[in-house]
Amino acid sequence: MGTPATPTANEAATRDGYGNALIKLGASDSNVVVLDAGVSDSTRTNKFQEKYPERFFNMGISEGDMVCTAAGMAKCGKTAFATSFICFLLGRSMDQILVSVAYSDSNVKIIGTHAGLAIGEDGPTAQAIGDVGYMRAVPNFIVICPADAVEAEKAIIEVAKRKGPAYVRLGRGNVRTIYDDNYNFEIGKASVVAEGNDVAIIASGIMVQESLAAAEVLKKEGINVRVINMSTIKPIDRQAIIAAAETGTVITTEDHNIYGGLGSAVAEVIAEENLDVKFSMIGVKDRFAESDSQKVLFKKYGLDAEAIAVAVKKAIAAKG
């Protein structure tokens, strides 16, 4: 699985990792095509456009058409990446995704950027907090939420190798670089990014960095936290969850509604495997937020490192 990079001040957005991956894929595979709904500078598909303009298609504000076009290209042997902000991409094209991509088992990669409350000032109508729930319920789709730009780049390359539908959830803002270039991403496999046996945190996306920050604080207090990056949410790594349960306490953290997302997926495994473990979820508690900075929203809605640390201490105290 590889090991995390030595913590540094390096930061980058996962959408930047996507742009970098597209350039590499464009060079290695002439069947890779990229479609965007008029926001290529923000989704970073403009990097591919600059290198391979003949294989880039700006569909404008017409997400449904974009998805159907991508499905048509896939049926002609292309590996098609359809890209936009999550709120537009899923909000305006779920019927096309369901029929033209999922039901048809098309080789289309749905890449959504600007996830969760982390987009901050864009406000509640753009803060996608239900997308993982949508997409993991759709047959034939895999669902991936990378933790940093390195993992995003490697995940996109692996997704391109796998025939069939995929959904990749990317963020807007910079996140802490967790991995180095030696990291080996594998679809369906979690990665332990911090060792500990007192409690296990299973996180995805931007919440991996928040969980690591909480673990660093708790370590100074003598609490050793295992942090697991569950970047593939479907198919989920059942063995990693079973191993996490051996700590006696499992907490999930996600920038997503607590219903339908990572927490729900982990809870399903705990129930199905009849695991004897205390379990709780940190996420958006089934409500809309407001327009404000990521820092303010994460603090207000209990998603920051401080809130995670408090939750861990409460869980340990409850364990007795």
Instruction: Give, for all 320 residues of the chain, the pLDDT tens digit.
Output: 445 544 444 899 999 999 999 999 999 999 999 999 999 999 999 999 999 999 999 999 999 999 999 999 999 999 999 999 999 999 999 999 999 999 999 999 999 999 999 999 989 999 999 999 999 999 999 999 999 999 999 999 999 999 999 999 999 999 999 999 999 999 999 999 999 999 999 999 999 999 999 999 999 999 999 999 999 999 999 999 999 999 999 999 999 999 999 999 999 999 999 999 999 999 999 999 999 999 999 999 999 999 999 999 999 888 76
Q: Are residues 76 and 198 in the same domain?
A: no
Q: Are residues 38 and 111 in the same domain?
A: yes
Q: Are residues 64 and 142 in the same domain?
A: yes
Residues forming the active site = 63
Residue 4 pLDDT: 53
Q: Buried b vs exposed e over 262-301: b needs ≥16 C-beta within 10 Å? A: bbbbbbebbeeeeeebebbbbbbeeeebeeeebebbbeeb
Please indicate, yes or no, if residue 1 is contained in any of the structural domains.
no
Question: Structural domain tally of the chain?
Answer: 2
The domain in which residue 93 lies consists of 11-176
Residue 317 pLDDT: 87
Could you say which of 123, 146, 176 is where a domain stops? Answer: 176
Look at residues 295, 291, 14 and name the one whose alpha carbon lies nearest to residue 125: 291
Residue 2 pLDDT: 47
Q: Are residues 160 and 24 in the same domain?
A: yes
CATH code for the domain in which residue 142 is found: 3.40.50.970
Q: Are residues 165 and 228 in the same domain?
A: no
Query: Is the entire prediction scored with pTM above 0.75?
Result: yes
Residue 277 pLDDT: 96
